[in-house]
Amino acid sequence: FADLPLGDVYDRPIQGVPKGRLFQLLQKFMEALAPGIIFEMTDDRPRVLVPIGGAQTLRVDLPGEEPSDYSKLEDSTALLVGGGFGSTKERRKKLSVPKTAREYKVSVDHVYTFECYDHSMDFANYEQVLMLGKRIDLVEKLDGQVMSLGMYKRDDKSSCIYKFPFWHERMMKTPEK
């Protein structure tokens, strides 16, 4: 589980990211909020990835037994290769730590269903909502790049397993570069 984080990798730098000490403080803050996060916002190919084990809900089922009603997803980790967890809180805490998550393996014999969301993301306006109601316009900051939710290999920026892009109508005025 440690090698399959969720998030996005961008092809170009993100605009307006603080540099130096201010970024280091921001990075420490993000790491405290989301243990195991890869928060490389100042790189030429920035990426923000979080451990899949930290998803709000995680289910592991046998094929044909996976849920069909996604409005009532509940954790079910007894079939995890490495052992299940007694609670969502325990799973999120342990699988957010890469060292612990490495003990758990993905099996092609199981179906994985997970739910993840970012309560600070305003998809209707394509903005990130920060503390005290401050909003960051992602059309501007991403410089025409599309925000996506994807799964990647942890140590390989070019290895994308899947990627679901989130477009906004305002982006149509800012062509992707």
Taking only the tens place, the pLDDT of each residue in 1-15 is 888 899 999 999 999
DSSP characters over 100-141: HHTT-B--TTSEEEEE---TTEETTTTEEE-GGG-EEEHHHH
Helices (H), the chain: 20-33, 88-95, 98-101, 138-141
Residue 128 contacts residue 138 (beta carbons within 8 Å): yes
Residue 34 contacts residue 96 (beta carbons within 8 Å): yes
Q: Which two tokens stand for residue 98?
A: 């890469």
82 vs 48, more confident: 48
Mean pLDDT of the chain: 90
Q: How confident is the model at residue 177 (pLDDT cuts 50, 70, 90)?
A: low
- State the pTM of this model: 0.84
Write the single-letter amino acid at 132. L
For residue 134, the Cα-to-chain-centroid distance in whole angstroms is 22
Taking only the tens place, the pLDDT of each residue in 42-54 is 999 999 999 999 8
Taking only the tens place, the pLDDT of each residue in 88-124 is 999 999 998 888 999 998 899 999 999 988 888 999 9
- How many whole angstroms separate alpha carbon 130 and alpha carbon 122? 10
Taking only the tens place, the pLDDT of each residue in 133-170 is 899 999 999 988 999 999 999 888 788 999 999 999 98
